[in-house]
Amino acid sequence: MSPRRRVTELLIANLGPDRSLLRHALAGAVTVVQYTLARRGWRRPRAPATSEVAGWLREVEAHGYCVVQGFLDRATCARWAAELDRVFAKYPEYVQRRSDQRVFGVEAASDPLRAFAEDPRLLECAEHTLRAATVNAFTLGARIDHTPGNKGSGEGWHRDSFVVQFKAILYLNDVAPGRGPFQLITNSQRLPRLVADMLLGRLGLQQNRIGDDQIARLLAHDPSRLRTFTAGAGTLLLVNTSAIHRGEPIEHGTRYSLTNYFVERERAGAAMDAHFAPVLRSRRPPSSSTLTAPPQQHPTHHGGG
């Protein structure tokens, strides 16, 4: 372990959740430094290719998310959901069973699903958000059915990064209340709010997984921060997943979804695949951009939503 990592582990151990107010204040100060250093050297990418993408990016920048209704028609959604069932049945050794059934890399087994994985508009949104040369590491295909005691897609509240992360989530069927909608704590991706949340929620340094009791503390101060994304089939969510989020525990029915995992180009590959293993792979290389800005390293945890 490098000296820098040893120092970080020592800080995390001593500035953990539910400590004294002073320790949470120190954790906030350390977070400001880490956040600032991680963003150093970011370059502004070229202007968006289309007004459509520019509009999506304005929403992501302003709110941390963008909701695109009617991104995919219902008939295609139904076919793609059936494709997920086919992939689950054909490759059972790749199906990860948690609160949901999930396969990482569904695009390797399905030409229709590859269309979503390689959509250039989504890659462009990711590049602008990450400020780096970017790829879609893989696409997660998920089916979540109601089971007693399920924690929802993503296994509870979490954030994927403390600086910036980007995912594109597509609902393949109607997601009404009780059917596991994606949820997000608004503004939790912004640095001032991130530090304030550490104090209000008594969160620890680099705490990715967040308990229901800690979320309750945050919402007690402002219940309106909870955003629940109920929407029809074919709705696309573009999300900066450094915000606190989860898939709400499903109470009835089934939810089908696809999620593109966009990362800096140099982070995609064997190490990332090992973290999410097993991952379906084909011989086709991942789509990549021509952006020349140098990749940035961000402390990152990947979950689902």
Written as six digits, the tokens of 170 are: 């597509």
**Rounded Cα–Cα distance for residues 270 and 1 (Å):** 20
Assign 65 to helix, strand or coil.
Answer: strand
What pLDDT is stored for residue 303 in this prediction? 57
Q: For position 223, what pLDDT does the model report?
A: 97
Which of 26, 29, 2 lies closest to 14, judged by CA? 26
How many Å apart are CA 113 and CA 7, to the nearest integer? 43
Kindly state the tokens that stand for 55: 């509009």
Alpha helices in the chain (DSSP H): 3-14, 21-39, 51-63, 74-90, 111-117, 120-130, 191-200, 212-221, 270-276
- Relative to beta strand 166-171, strand 134-145 is unpaired
Query: pLDDT tens, position by position, for the chain (305 residues)?
Result: 677 788 888 888 888 898 888 888 898 888 888 888 888 867 777 788 799 999 999 999 999 999 999 999 999 999 999 999 999 999 999 999 887 789 999 999 999 999 999 999 999 999 999 998 899 999 999 999 888 888 888 889 999 988 899 999 999 999 999 999 999 999 999 999 999 999 999 999 889 999 999 999 999 999 999 999 999 999 999 999 999 999 999 999 999 999 999 999 988 988 899 999 999 986 444 444 333 222 333 333 445 56
What domains can be seen in the chain, in order of their start residue? 3-276 (2.60.120.620)
pLDDT in the model for residue 251: 92
What pLDDT, on the 0 to 100 scale, is given for residue 54?
95
**Predicted TM-score (pTM) above 0.85:** yes
**Residue 201: other Cβ atoms inside 10 A:** 26
